[in-house]
Structure 1
Amino acid sequence: MCNLYSMTSNSQAIREIAKVLEDRTGNLQPLPEIYPNTMAPIVRNGTNGRELVMARWGMLTPPGYLKGHCGVTNIRNPGSAWWKRWEGVAHRCLVPLTAFSELERLPDGKSRPAWFVRSDGEQLAFFAGI
């Protein structure tokens, strides 16, 4: 998952596309900038079927990476024993989004967000998450 994305569509659209049975988000407001460790909507398997809920996104960072590092937001080594506890279906979700951003390196060495959106005109897309 990227370090910055947006979700500016509405809960009705998410419910229809993801076949959500229960919406627990309340009055879902547009979220133009969603960063790690912030609340955002996800679709997960609940006891009565798919549910739309707000959750804090990101992964627990292995302790060795916390010193002098901002933390881990992407699993780059799925073979690591650290991630095994979250591999099961119970920890999977869909993350609805309308755009995501990756840093673009500029000629002067600085960087800025480069935003990516669907080219087919559709508003919603999903990341698979754990």
Structure 2
Amino acid sequence: MCGRYVMAKAVGDLVAELEAEAEASLELRASYNVAPTTDVPIVLERLVDGVVHRQVHVAKWGLVPRWAKDAAVGVRAFNARTETVLDKPTFRAAIKSKRCAVPVQGYYEWKKLPDGKSKQPYFVHSDDGALITFAGLYEWWKDPAKQDGDDDLWLLSCSILTMPSPPDGELATLHDRLPVPLTREGMVQWLDPGAGDPAALLNMVLAQAFGIAAQWQLDAVGPEVGNVRNDSPELIMPLHG
């Protein structure tokens, strides 16, 4: 599962690392405690005049399908299960042609302690501090309550794909779900708007995911991360002792 993560990089850094482009006016809010329903960066590819452009956009975390009557449905769609994503009405259109990657510097997960009541938060990140990209989906939703020409007529939203955790290893003890990471080559294929077989793409990224996740580092962190109002670099500092 992915319910909180860290993204504190500037637009220029993301553009460089993801080999993408972005509008000069694009703004990102650095956050060490990103929660669902907030604005997050995504990278996607669009075909413009026969040329594919890889772009960084800002989307609301919680996918709103085009047929939704209001944006509130996104509250329940910040993650998409790989087992049902091809068939579930909320996601089945997006996975065919609106696939994105969600860049993160790491994410938080809570592990149940032996007493069965309390939980210990962990910050999960790459061992070398490199950017992680999760497989995601996006949609453009037209607000029926708005007028044509309104600046906020269209809402861009996204969801992160999750899969069952590996059967063993440290991640298996943390949670039974895992956000689906992409290799660099896997991201190229996942983002391709011309790729015509979403089931094959899904199988491809799933086959690579455990190998990527096996390299991640898990650091126990303080309980302050449990409150979304807390947002500072201290949240990812490992506990010692």
Q: Shorter-chain TM-score category?
A: 0.7 to 0.9
- Find the partner of 1:59 among 58, 63, 83: 63
User: How far 1:71 sits from its partner (Å)?
Assistant: 2.5
For the Cα contact (< 8 Å) 1:24–1:52, is it kept in 2?
Answer: no
**Counterpart check, 1:105 vs 2:109:** no
**Counterpart check, 1:42 vs 2:64:** no
User: How far 1:120 sits from its partner (Å)?
Assistant: 2.1
For the Cα contact (< 8 Å) 1:95–1:129, is it kept in 2?
Answer: yes
Which contiguous aligned blocks of 4+ residues in structure 1 show a shift greater than 6 angstroms? none
TM (norm. structure 2) is: 0.44
| Residue type of the alignment partner of 2:30 | P
Q: Deviations over 1:61-97 (max 9, x none)?
A: 9xxxxxxxx72433222243423212122x1111111
Q: Deviations over 1:35-58 (max 9, x none)?
A: 111101111224461111111012
Higher helix share: 2
User: How far 1:121 sits from its partner (Å)?
Assistant: 3.3
- Which residue number in structure 1 is paired with residue 103 of structure 2? 96
Taking a change above 3 Å as real, the CA distance of residues 52 and 88 of structure 1, as seen in their structure-2 partners, is same
For the Cα contact (< 8 Å) 2:107–2:125, is it kept in 1?
Answer: yes
Secondary structure at the aligned position of 2:37 is classed as coil
User: How far 1:24 sits from its partner (Å)?
Assistant: 5.5
User: How far 1:19 sits from its partner (Å)?
Assistant: 1.2
TM (norm. structure 1) is: 0.76
Taking a change above 3 Å as real, the CA distance of residues 71 and 79 of structure 1, as seen in their structure-2 partners, is same
Secondary structure at the aligned position of 2:17 is classed as helix
| Residue type of the alignment partner of 1:35 | A
**Identical positions, percent:** 26
For the Cα contact (< 8 Å) 2:100–2:135, is it kept in 1?
Answer: yes
Count of paired positions: 121
CA distance in 1 between partners of 2:78 and 2:58 (Å): 18
Secondary structure at the aligned position of 2:15 is classed as helix
Q: How does 1:70-89 map to 2 (within 5 A)?
A: 71-76=76-81, 77-82=84-89, 83-89=91-97
Consecutive unaligned residues of structure 1, counting only runs of 5 or more, are: 62-69
More contact order relative to length (CA 8 Å, sep ≥ 6): 1
Consecutive unaligned residues of structure 2, counting only runs of 5 or more, are: 66-74, 138-241
CA distance in 2 between partners of 1:55 and 1:81 (Å): 21
Q: Deviations over 1:86-116 (max 9, x none)?
A: 2122x11111111111221123312243110
